[in-house]
Amino acid sequence: MTDLSAAESARLHQLITCEYPSTISAAAAAGEACVWCSGPLGVDAVGLDTRDPRIGCGSCYGGRRAWYTTWYDWHRHVRRCVPCQQARVCHVGSGLRSLHEITRESAGKVDPSYCVSCHHPVHAGELVVPVRWEGTTQDHLGYGHTQCLMSRATVR
Ligand SMILES: [Zn+2]
Ligand SMILES: [Zn+2]
Ligand SMILES: [Zn+2]
């Protein structure tokens, strides 16, 4: 896993902590339980970047952090890798993709992912690349079918 700069770490923290369910338990709302799993807060609990006091337990936070860091590792590779951008075989790219995919469950990503371009679900056997797009308040990280994105000059 890549070491991130302080700026990247801060950005990552922001991305992780703005994503929690809109309905949380009373204990979580009071800052006494994890906002993601409603479980107890251990010594490794992490305070979120939110207006109200919101706290995540170490394992929920760590799972989400792994999801983001593996996404960035994969994205960094694909941006420079022509085979990955052209839907050709790349063992490095597929290795980075599987490292990312095994973090999905611990990051609470239970819903299927959708292609940013065609909006169809992304299936395991399909070639996809990580795609980032700018939202109004923050960046969004997702995926696109390589074939759907090949009409673009480069994968961003
Ligand atoms: Zn938790
Ligand atoms: Zn590659
Ligand atoms: Zn697609």
pLDDT of residue 143: 95
Rounded to the nearest angstrom, the distance between the alpha carbon of 81 and the centre of ligand 2 is: 5
pLDDT in tens, 102-141: 999 999 988 889 999 999 999 988 999 999 988 887 778 9
Longest dimension (CA), the chain: 50
Q: What's the pLDDT at 3?
A: 67
> 77 alpha carbon to ligand 1 midpoint, in Å?
31
Ion ligand 2 residue ranges (Cβ < 5 Å): 81, 84, 90, 92-93
The answer to whether residues 31 and 53 touch, using CB atoms and an 8 Å cutoff, is yes
89: CA distance to ligand 2 center in Å?
8
Strand partners, 156: none
pLDDT beyond 90 at 11 = no
For residue 54, how far is the Cα from the chain centroid? Answer: 20
Neighbours of ion ligand 3 (CB under 5 A): 115, 117-118, 145, 148
Å from CA of 75 to ligand 2 middle: 10
CA of 98 to the centre of ligand 2 (A): 13
Q: For residue 60, what pLDDT is reported?
A: 96
pLDDT digits (tens, 9 = 90+) for 47-99: 998 888 899 999 999 999 999 999 999 999 999 999 999 999 999 999 999 99
Q: Which residue has the higher pLDDT, 23 or 4?
A: 23
